[in-house]
Amino acid sequence: MAFDTQLMAELELLAKFPRSSLHQGLKIHSSADQSILAAAERLFEKGVIDRPDGGYLTDLGHDLLSHIDQVHGALK
């Protein structure tokens, strides 16, 4: 299993979402780096976030964020 640059960009963007409330999300500005905009679009297409420019995490997104936190905690 390889972690290519696109997957890493998606994981990094997902990790930036707030954890303190289900009612908080992210708005990615149109002038953001192209790799961030593309990562957001892919996460939206995969059903992880509810808008192609950020928005809120879906249920799947919340589950994935929890797993990212577990992996990060175990490896740091």
Q: Is the dihedral of CA 55, 20, 62, 11 positive or negative?
A: positive
Number of domains forming the structure of the chain: 1
52 neighbors 44 (Cβ within 8 angstroms): yes
**Percentage of the residues of the chain whose pLDDT score is greater than 90:** 88
Given a contact cutoff of 8 angstroms between Cβ atoms, the answer to whether 64 and 72 are in contact is no
Give the residue-averaged pLDDT of 5-17.
95
Instruction: Give the predicted TM-score (pTM) of the model.
Output: 0.91
pLDDT at 27: 94
pLDDT bracket for residue 14 (50, 70, 90): very high
At 22, the pLDDT band (50, 70, 90 cuts) reads confident
Q: Which domain holds residue 46?
A: 5-75
The beta strand positions in 11-67, using DSSP E, are 26-27, 49-51, 54-57
Tokens of 66: 């929890």
